Structure 1
């Protein structure tokens, strides 16, 4: 198995942001081994928004963790042509003792930005997620949706590197809106699309919600139930009829779930 991660500034080729070749992940050993992913081949192009869809337990989050470098594949190869990716989870996980601005500044400080530059960049990112007046507030003073906006700004900050190309960035999102109410989720989906279009960041977004995948993704990738394998892809999603595509993908997802239940 091989995991190729960039060191310093990436030697960006422009061909792919991330590529998975024959990735397999097994937990446990011998008779207790559980195969979470088996032979996954997947690419994300620079600036592409890919939604990874599947039933609960199919290995979506495991795949995201492997791409993030939080775990290593048991077999196969993962190649990144970006700066080290940033991850946004279902929970905002902000530092409660820091203001919104300081939370966004934290990865910039770790990346080596000076005080003045990181304050400027944090202000720009908070403005990007429409929180330009909330930089001085602490997490407990913000709504759930506002905390997720701060988390998004912080994740974008984590993709930046001193002297790096902002277009060589990869954002990994693990069901970041699942815990929010329907109205807030709808608003933040729209905000995410706006931010995506204005930054050129590559996005790999995990969800089990077909409507969310169709609304957000430029491409939708369906994983089988455990062990996770790529069973179907839909390209040029924004050009399709949303209702028809949602119905089609839902049918395939139901087929995947029913096949697993019958096994």
Structure 2
């Protein structure tokens, strides 16, 4: 009997262009994310990480192979917050609740609960322009959580933030993941970020993207970006990533 999986990707291929002569982006991807697992997907720019995340989210279809998310449609968080500037923080979250079918009378309380979860209590009435970059990403995370999915897909959500804000949000995401037992598939090109956050780090080759190697990160949480063990594993993964980039350059 197949083991339970929150996300199951089986022999997935994806190409863009005309049928028969399209350029392959992903080739024979096999990957599972277990319930409650935090998996980081790592690779050089253009290796197909975001393409794969979009396929899992249902935004596109694979050319061949199958993708299963048994618990239903996953929630998705992008690098850009994509908040509606004419709505308050709370109303942005309520919109996701409305689309989920939450009754109007219950939306305000649930939006405020989610803002508390991301440590933005009291920000319900704030407009987007009144929020810092880190606060906007917290609201975007709360809106993703409002979809009530057991799977959270994150596409480089902290890449545009400064180092200190990113460090704080790493701590917050780790805390929320521990509190909610979500399954997380997190795309990044930052090796230390992957090692700090993930229980597993999966490396994709340069285009076409294939699963080259994966590492189990057997380090206790919470972790710090500057921890010696995080640094040591990051060096090992970076060496492998550089070799993949070199191989791509020779092709």
The TM-score with structure 2 as length reference comes to 0.93
Question: Residue 56 of structure 2 is aligned with which of 53, 67, 80?
Answer: 67
Contact 1:53 1:222 in 2 (8 A): yes
Secondary structure of the residue aligned to 1:19 is: strand
Moved over 2 A (4+): 236-241
Contact 2:195 2:217 in 1 (8 A): no
Contact 1:50 1:217 in 2 (8 A): yes
Determine the structure 1 residue equivalent to 2:193.
212
Question: Residue 254 of structure 1 is aligned with which of 217, 228, 242?
Answer: 242
Contact 1:214 1:237 in 2 (8 A): no
Give RMSD over aligned pairs.
Answer: 1.5
Secondary structure of the residue aligned to 2:82 is: coil
Secondary structure of the residue aligned to 1:123 is: helix
CA distance in structure 2 between the partners assigned to 1:118 and 1:238 by the alignment: 38
Determine the structure 1 residue equivalent to 2:224.
none
How many residues get paired? 243
CA distance in structure 1 between the partners assigned to 2:57 and 2:7 by the alignment: 10
Question: Residue 35 of structure 2 is aligned with which of 33, 46, 51?
Answer: 46
> 5+ residue gaps in structure 2?
221-227
> 5+ residue gaps in structure 1?
1-12, 161-167
The TM-score with structure 1 as length reference comes to 0.89
Contact 1:58 1:226 in 2 (8 A): yes
Alignment of 1:1-263 (within 5 A): 15-30=4-19, 32-158=21-147, 160=148, 169-238=150-219, 241-263=229-251
Secondary structure of the residue aligned to 1:260 is: helix
Moved more, 198-207 or 237-246: 237-246
